[in-house]
Structure 1
Amino acid sequence: MERQQGLWLADLKRVPVQPPSRKAAASVISDMKTLGADHPSVPALTAGDSTVREGLVAVFSLSPFLRETALAHPSLVADLLARPIDGIIDEACLDARESWRPDEGGAPRSDGEVMAALRRAKRKVAFALAIADLLGLVTGAETTRYLSAFADAAVSATVDHLLLSADAAGKIRLEDRSEPSRQSGLIVLGMGKHGACELNYSSDIDLVIFYDPEVAALAARPDLAEDIARLLRRLIRILQERTGDGYVFRTDLRLRPDPGATPLAVSVDAAMTYYEGRGQNWERAAFIKARPVAGDLAAGEAFLKALTPFVFRKYLDFAAIADIHSIKRQIHDHKGHGEIAVKGHNIKLGRGGIREIEFFAQTQQLIAGGRMPELRARSTEGALAALAEARWIDEQTAAALTEAYWFLRNVEHRIQMVHDEQAHTLPKAEAELRRIALMMGFAGTDAFSDALSARLRTVERHYGALFERERSLSDGEGNLVFTGQNDDPETLATLSRLGFARPSDICRMIRTWHAGRYAATQSAEARERLTELTPRLLQAFGESRMADEAMMRFDAFLGRLPAGIQLFSLIASNPALLALIVTIMSAAPRLADIVAARPHVFDGMLDPRLLTELPDRSDLKARLALFLSGARDVEDRLDRLRIFAAEQRFLIGVRLLTGVADAETVGFAFTDLADLCVAAALDVAQDAMAAAHGHIAGASVAVLGLGKLGSREMTAGSDIDLILLYDHPDDPPDSDGARPLDAPRYFARLAQRLIASLSAPTSEGVLYPVDMRLRPSGNKGPLATRLSAFEKYQREDAWTWEHMALTRARGVAGDGALLEKAASTIARVLDTPREPDRLTRDIAEMRGLIAQEKRPYGLWDVKLIEGGVVDVEFIAQDLMLSAAANPALRPPAGTPTIAVLRQLGPALLGPEATGRLVEASTLYATIAQVLRLCLEGPFDRKTAPLGLIERLCRASGAPDLSVLEAELRERAHEVRAIFIRHIGRPVESKATTELGKPKL
């Protein structure tokens, strides 16, 4: 219904929502008075009592997001008071739709201009709709339609802008530049709630994009696929990147065919081949709601018409019920689906939630839609109505589910309106739950909880009844029989359905478990618990997409486990632990091998904090001290140190793998662990030296960490670069032990013992590989250096690359006073003025030498590729050494590379170049951390576990590996360009001596 009046004149006879408290209302009123005083165009904000004023006070006190928006943009309030809702929304949609058009002079818009216009329009829509919805001036259905209409406008404008820019660059040839999308051959389908015109208040949008390479606009274009992929990466950035104006829509392209192996856009022919030969029932369900929303709309309609036989089969398709329901079970498993509740209940995915209503309708549409075209409605409400009209369900069921659907959608909207977040879970805190209840128009949580529970139970009852006929859905996945010597044929079929490529091998493995051949399964109780757990294990591993390999790694782990009852009981009661085990076994072969070889590292996974936080340095230090306190002798101390380090490296890595911590945080954690281990190893070495040779009076020792240890950027597989320094009074006495030594020999022996404590293999493996080549004179110099000799060498004899290495030097263990002296010495060396041209020439020669002697194995060798980590680190080290002209600006040695770039880059490189380097460094760190954690050798996309590829893309924020590869190439190209511009082109140095070579 079109509204001809604004909110101020609307027929708002009562306010359906109330503030959470008088205090909250008073705070809002205070803000409104200030706003009204500063903005006379908003008179209603300072007027006397009125229904509208009362409504705004309630709305702003319930939604911090709306309140902040009003204060930041008072013109939105004035507009809302003066104009009809329809006019505001229509104007915002038009502004968004026209944002791509060139200016009056014909100049095309930049990405930034389009982004700003779209975000302004989105803010207007979100603000107006939320207030109108909360005050009951629009229905939930109207809200979703308005949001979907705006999404259509925003996506269409972005696509037109990108097509126009591609035409200007000669990448495509448009039929009509005033209508870029027409006959462009680019098909943009809105999926899910966008396609059904049911978008959430803070929803993301699911798009699937195809293109027809035969149309005139795209025909005979070289590199067409890459050009379109590049445009779509810009589309994602334009829509979802957060700027000072916010964002438009988070955008997901993962519903395209085989997203892990295909580019962002797929040709029409390739898509049809995929759907006809490999399309799955969940994809059929997804395409029920598909709708052309942008691009070549006519081509989009033709594509969907051609796809109709795939989506809606000619014959009744009861088999689809089981498949669709299996998707729902997977959602239950992975999204914490539980019993009906209110606090903490997931309105979308939880039991009795929105997804069950959608699946209720979609399943029956798939079954009968081929014979009954009238059932092919896109919207959930429309589908329920069509099912009732066709007598597929009764009218009472349709009415009950429709009412429950919009009630739950309204709850979902209000959850999202609080902070403009894509959330679907009700708060657990009473005060926050009361906020949602008030936003729904209830007086308190009790009435709201009763109303919500009634809807959830209604949905659950109808959804459950739909599947009562399917025995396989309630009786498990099918036959799982592992008795006897021969494979059960139905069990092999079940394992194949679950995702295993070698079901006979899996049967043989499980028979080994049941036969009690492993220590973990020798007891009858352990075998009984494992037998009960086996179906869940098989389902979980089967869903990993590397089912056989993952299961084999789990078997190797099980074979080394000393006992199994505790583990099997924990897995049975803790689905998150099972998911974590599957993740490790399927995505991280290196971690899986560690678990299999040393199952005691698994003990740390029993810590309930594992999936929520990283231990800080003080916590690690206390744990290490406690763990070492019971050691019997030196050998036991070293073994315990290795056990502790292996377990903690493993647990830190798990946090990265599960997304609890990012690459930078994990780098700090690995480094903190290494610092503590070096300090503990130094204590062991000093104790051994004291026992054999005594002490040297007045002497002290310190250990410097360099490389990634020094800059706090270690990975799971990093070695450690060390320099051992010592100092003593002039003319010191020999050590006072039974076998006295003079100072140089004493500290050389101490260095040898330290290296052995860290890197000598024991029954518990190696603690850390140690590299001492960064010490003065490299391999030709003594293992330990007196501080004065260290300073003299650095000032008089050191090569440029040694000073570069010194920028990452940091004290990690030893005497505190000596560490301070060493830091001062390093600072004086770094602050020595240098000749800029010689510095950059030396750096360019060193980069050329590294390129010659140590070539990257491929694109994923992010350290050595042109424009990779080495280039970024060399730029940062040049900035550190160049800052000698103004030492006060230089960060201390040992500062992480990204921090150096952020501190020195803007002034010495410029803000844009600095931003590019920081982005590249962040991406490289993420890739390096994940790959070093999960693999022992090089990464090969052809042989890498799919689980690893998924984790790599997720950690990097890329939708798939192709996009990530493209971004990696782009970042490397940018870094190399900055390196050449700032340092120079890398060249080989023919005059470099052996000593002058950097550590490669």
Structure 2
Amino acid sequence: MVAVEGHNVKLGRGGIREVEFFVQTQQLIAGGRDPNLRSSRTLEALDALVRDFWIAGAVRDELAEAYIFLRRVEHRIQMVADAQTHTLPEQTDALGAFARFMGYETRDAFAAALVDRLKRVQHHYAQLFEDSPPPAVLDGQLLFPPDHDDRQTLAVLGRLGFRDPPAASMVVRGWMAGRHRVLRSDVARGQLASIAPLLLEQLSRGGDPDGALIAADNFFAELSGGHLMHALQRHPDLVRLLATILTVAPRLGETLARRPSLLDALLDPAFFNKLPDQASLEQHLEILLDTAESDEEQLDRARRFRQEQHVLIGVRIASGTLPAARAGEAYAGLAEVIIRALHARVWARFQEAHGTIAGAETAVLSMGKLGGREMTAGSDLDLIVLYDFDPEADPSSDGPRPLHGAQYFARFTQRLVTALTSLTNAGKLYDVDLRLRPSGRSGPVATRLRSFENYQRDEAWTWEHMALTRARVISARPDFCARVEAVIRDVLARPRDPRRIAGDILDMRGAIAAEKGEADRWNLKHALGGQVDVEFLAQYLVLVHAAQHPQIVDTATARIIAVAGELHLLPAEDILLLANACRLYQDLTQVLRLALDTHFLPTEASPALKALLARAGEMPDFATLDAHLRETQDRVREIFTRVLEQAAG
């Protein structure tokens, strides 16, 4: 299953980079003994691998043909975009036009040709890198009688890689005996018996069959509907996908078990084509909320909507059909849709109870990861609520329960936060953090725009201006939105002393290191040379150069670095390293937040998770990724220290 719209033909599954990794890995294995293989040209290296009997000619032919095709697609993408990009158009109409540019009559004809090549590359790449048991291990019949272990079955489980075959057998025998509610009917157990061999074989592919089986047992324990068993029996690909989720992200599997209706979406062939855009998400959510019979039901529906969409984004990440780099935008876009919908409804309900003040306006300002469109599965919401009203008007509201001025907007903000954070029968939406508002916890929960502007101009610390570089209005009426954006733009464009800004940032980075530590390489945010270093450096560039170069103002770290490169604010090699590091850290963070709710420890991680991290980091294996991460962090810290210490004098 490969998405076509928005697919990255270089870095995506089955893409150019997988062909290159295939060749480079073979060269690493044999190149030391065979100097004929040491070619930097991919096609020449494939010929050499065949000539010296390292791979079959048919493998070379398929990879070479796919490589040439994908390179042609890449060149056409760059001709259309007039930029160094590798991503196909995300809109179906635009992809249809691109298909015709490639010489195909329709989008579907081009998609079929592309997917055929991608699947061939994926197949050869998987054969090389996946530690899969040979098919022969399942030649024997698997039997799980209720009162004893079958000896032949134990042998097969051992060949599949289970460390404790009797314990694994006992788990499956429990399924067959109807230990879990969903498996208590004869029909369900019969369906399970038919998929058990494939499920066990697929669970073994992650490298930790025993751990994956425990996740599968938890899945069946949580499963609340029996129709999924029928779907699994009819769709072997769904069994494979479920096994992938359980080996890589067991928590995601537990959520699917509680909401089995989500699996219906995975059976839709369009599911893996592309993500729904904000317009379709808004339309869907509006219908759900408008047809709710009460405010409480609205909140429940919003929570279920968020959970469903989070799971569907997560499945795309785990299955490799959504590049981790785009996941942050997907999570952020979803949060924006939900916030806008609840903002409008809470505001309307609030005015029914308390009336309005002439000229009253409110805006929700996103900060942090939401502001930068870099959210993960576990991100909370950093928000600021701004307001204004007619200065000539009576500051008291005109409703049945009137409130005065600042109290009116503070009460509204509390209602909005409650709508986003309260725990209902359907769970909660998000954790919300308002600490980035003026004066932090000691300040009012909502701030009048004029007071916000004065505070940012006269009182704000450097760290608050750094935070402001990620500020983005996500919900407001257009006129008020434009006013807020103008204030933010003017504050960031003020001339600043580079020496003071650099010194403040160095002091702040030192304080964070003292509190959080920076020695753990896989604490990607706080590690020496990690995400904080890249983000702080990008924010320094905005604060110091925005007065002269307003185009550098952006909420996304990657885009700030790109513009800094266009403006030659840093050497080209520094820009390239920082851009690659930013992408690497964000990609790895997406996977880790999806898979774990604890800190990542490489020594305890499953091989499946390590393999997914390696893929996200564009490396052939985890050991190579680990070494690449160390080198990247060292180089980021060198740039961070050099640039800021020179500026600080």
Same fold (TM over 0.5): yes
Paired with 1:414 and 1:957, the residues of 2 have a C-alpha distance of: 20
Match status 1:831 vs 2:488:
no
Match status 1:908 vs 2:558:
no
**Match among 601, 605, 627 for residue 266 of structure 2:** 605
Match status 1:513 vs 2:175:
yes
Aligned partners of 1:514 and 1:521 also within 8 Å: yes
Paired with 2:236 and 2:72, the residues of 1 have a C-alpha distance of: 24
Spell out, residue by residue over 1:83-133, the C-alpha distance to the aligned partner (whole angstroms, 9 max, x if none): xxxxxxxxxxxxxxxxxxxxxxxxxxxxxxxxxxxxxxxxxxxxxxxxxxx
Give SS of 1:785's match.
strand
CA shift, 1:589, in A, is: 3.1
Corresponding residue of 1:419: 69
Give SS of 2:532's match.
helix
CA shift, 1:512, in A, is: 3.0
Work out which of the two has the higher radius of gyration on C-alpha atoms and give 1 or 2: 1
**Match among 542, 562, 567 for residue 228 of structure 2:** 567
Paired with 2:144 and 2:594, the residues of 1 have a C-alpha distance of: 35
Match status 1:545 vs 2:207:
yes
**Match among 220, 228, 239 for residue 40 of structure 2:** 239
Aligned partners of 2:47 and 2:60 also within 8 Å: no
Q: Give the direction of change, closer, same or farther, for the CA distance of 1:412–1:856 in structure 2 (3 Å limit).
A: closer
Paired with 2:165 and 2:323, the residues of 1 have a C-alpha distance of: 37
Q: Give the direction of change, closer, same or farther, for the CA distance of 1:717–1:662 in structure 2 (3 Å limit).
A: same
**Match among 567, 575, 581 for residue 242 of structure 2:** 581
CA shift, 1:882, in A, is: 1.4
**Match among 412, 415, 422 for residue 750 of structure 1:** 412
Q: Give the direction of change, closer, same or farther, for the CA distance of 1:473–1:716 in structure 2 (3 Å limit).
A: closer
Corresponding residue of 1:23: none
Q: Give the direction of change, closer, same or farther, for the CA distance of 1:634–1:413 in structure 2 (3 Å limit).
A: closer
Q: Give the direction of change, closer, same or farther, for the CA distance of 1:950–1:984 in structure 2 (3 Å limit).
A: same
| Equivalent AA in structure 1 for residue 198 of structure 2 | R
Spell out, residue by residue over 1:884-918, the C-alpha distance to the aligned partner (whole angstroms, 9 max, x if none): 33144333x42x11111111234211222111110
Spell out, residue by residue over 1:412-433, the C-alpha distance to the aligned partner (whole angstroms, 9 max, x if none): 599459637699xxxxxxxx9x
Corresponding residue of 1:108: none
Spell out, residue by residue over 1:320-357, the C-alpha distance to the aligned partner (whole angstroms, 9 max, x if none): xxxxxxxxxxxxxxxxxxxxxxxxxxxxxxxxxxxxxx
Give SS of 2:26's match.
strand
Match status 1:795 vs 2:457:
yes
Q: Equivalences for 1:599-638 in 2 at 5 Å?
A: 599-638=260-299
Q: Give the direction of change, closer, same or farther, for the CA distance of 1:759–1:250 in structure 2 (3 Å limit).
A: farther
**Percentage of pairs with the same residue:** 39
Name the Cα RMSD after superposition: 3.5
**Match among 698, 701, 704 for residue 365 of structure 2:** 704
**Match among 868, 872, 875 for residue 537 of structure 2:** 875
Give SS of 2:546's match.
helix
Aligned partners of 2:46 and 2:60 also within 8 Å: no
Paired with 1:774 and 1:497, the residues of 2 have a C-alpha distance of: 55
| Equivalent AA in structure 2 for residue 960 of structure 1 | D
Match status 1:534 vs 2:205:
no
Corresponding residue of 1:942: 603
Give SS of 1:702's match.
strand
Paired with 1:639 and 1:206, the residues of 2 have a C-alpha distance of: 53
CA shift, 1:762, in A, is: 2.2
Aligned partners of 1:699 and 1:728 also within 8 Å: yes
Aligned partners of 2:367 and 2:471 also within 8 Å: yes
Spell out, residue by residue over 1:658-677, the C-alpha distance to the aligned partner (whole angstroms, 9 max, x if none): 22222221111111011112
**Match among 456, 469, 474 for residue 807 of structure 1:** 469
Corresponding residue of 1:386: none
Corresponding residue of 1:262: none
Paired with 1:290 and 1:519, the residues of 2 have a C-alpha distance of: 55
Corresponding residue of 1:968: 629
| Equivalent AA in structure 2 for residue 971 of structure 1 | T
Q: Give the direction of change, closer, same or farther, for the CA distance of 1:962–1:870 in structure 2 (3 Å limit).
A: same
Aligned length, in residue pairs: 567
Spell out, residue by residue over 1:793-847, the C-alpha distance to the aligned partner (whole angstroms, 9 max, x if none): 1111111111111111000113222111100000011111111211111111111
Paired with 1:861 and 1:610, the residues of 2 have a C-alpha distance of: 33
CA shift, 1:247, in A, is: 7.6
Give SS of 2:473's match.
strand
Corresponding residue of 2:104: none
| Equivalent AA in structure 2 for residue 823 of structure 1 | E
Give SS of 1:812's match.
strand
Unaligned segments of structure 1, at least 5 residues: 1-198, 213-231, 241-245, 253-288, 294-377, 381-404, 424-431, 433-471, 988-1000
Q: Give the direction of change, closer, same or farther, for the CA distance of 1:593–1:524 in structure 2 (3 Å limit).
A: closer
Q: Give the direction of change, closer, same or farther, for the CA distance of 1:736–1:644 in structure 2 (3 Å limit).
A: same
Q: Give the direction of change, closer, same or farther, for the CA distance of 1:586–1:413 in structure 2 (3 Å limit).
A: closer
Give SS of 1:973's match.
helix
Q: Equivalences for 1:424-463 in 2 at 5 Å?
A: none
Aligned partners of 1:652 and 1:669 also within 8 Å: yes
| Equivalent AA in structure 1 for residue 563 of structure 2 | Q
Spell out, residue by residue over 1:134-156, the C-alpha distance to the aligned partner (whole angstroms, 9 max, x if none): xxxxxxxxxxxxxxxxxxxxxxx
Corresponding residue of 2:27: 207
Spell out, residue by residue over 1:146-201, the C-alpha distance to the aligned partner (whole angstroms, 9 max, x if none): xxxxxxxxxxxxxxxxxxxxxxxxxxxxxxxxxxxxxxxxxxxxxxxxxxxxx99x
Q: Equivalences for 1:19-58 in 2 at 5 Å?
A: none
Spell out, residue by residue over 1:20-52, the C-alpha distance to the aligned partner (whole angstroms, 9 max, x if none): xxxxxxxxxxxxxxxxxxxxxxxxxxxxxxxxx
Spell out, residue by residue over 1:435-476, the C-alpha distance to the aligned partner (whole angstroms, 9 max, x if none): xxxxxxxxxxxxxxxxxxxxxxxxxxxxxxxxxxxxx98995
Give SS of 1:704's match.
strand
Spell out, residue by residue over 1:47-103, the C-alpha distance to the aligned partner (whole angstroms, 9 max, x if none): xxxxxxxxxxxxxxxxxxxxxxxxxxxxxxxxxxxxxxxxxxxxxxxxxxxxxxxxx
Q: Give the direction of change, closer, same or farther, for the CA distance of 1:247–1:803 in structure 2 (3 Å limit).
A: farther
Corresponding residue of 1:853: 515
Aligned partners of 1:979 and 1:985 also within 8 Å: no
Corresponding residue of 1:764: 426
Give SS of 2:322's match.
coil
Flag the structure with more relative contact order, 1 or 2, with Cα contacts below 8 A and sequence separation at least 6: 2
Aligned partners of 2:370 and 2:381 also within 8 Å: yes
**Match among 659, 664, 685 for residue 346 of structure 2:** 685
Paired with 2:550 and 2:135, the residues of 1 have a C-alpha distance of: 70
Aligned partners of 1:706 and 1:808 also within 8 Å: yes
Paired with 1:902 and 1:771, the residues of 2 have a C-alpha distance of: 29
Paired with 1:664 and 1:379, the residues of 2 have a C-alpha distance of: 35
Give SS of 1:984's match.
helix
Q: TM-score scaled to structure 2, two decimals?
A: 0.80
CA shift, 1:944, in A, is: 0.7
**Match among 887, 894, 898 for residue 558 of structure 2:** 898
For structure 1, which segment, 590-599 or 737-746, has the greater mean C-alpha deviation from structure 2 after superposition?
A: 590-599
| Equivalent AA in structure 1 for residue 375 of structure 2 | M
| Equivalent AA in structure 2 for residue 724 of structure 1 | V
Q: Give the direction of change, closer, same or farther, for the CA distance of 1:419–1:560 in structure 2 (3 Å limit).
A: closer
Paired with 2:146 and 2:515, the residues of 1 have a C-alpha distance of: 59
Aligned partners of 2:383 and 2:433 also within 8 Å: yes
Aligned partners of 1:561 and 1:599 also within 8 Å: yes
Aligned partners of 1:902 and 1:918 also within 8 Å: yes
Give SS of 2:475's match.
strand
Aligned partners of 2:376 and 2:593 also within 8 Å: yes
Give SS of 1:908's match.
coil
| Equivalent AA in structure 2 for residue 570 of structure 1 | A
Aligned partners of 1:695 and 1:737 also within 8 Å: yes
Paired with 2:158 and 2:72, the residues of 1 have a C-alpha distance of: 37
Paired with 2:396 and 2:571, the residues of 1 have a C-alpha distance of: 55
Q: Give the direction of change, closer, same or farther, for the CA distance of 1:544–1:838 in structure 2 (3 Å limit).
A: closer
Q: Give the direction of change, closer, same or farther, for the CA distance of 1:812–1:792 in structure 2 (3 Å limit).
A: same
| Equivalent AA in structure 1 for residue 69 of structure 2 | H
Aligned partners of 1:953 and 1:961 also within 8 Å: yes
Give SS of 1:239's match.
coil
Paired with 2:581 and 2:408, the residues of 1 have a C-alpha distance of: 45
Q: Give the direction of change, closer, same or farther, for the CA distance of 1:771–1:685 in structure 2 (3 Å limit).
A: same
Give SS of 2:524's match.
coil
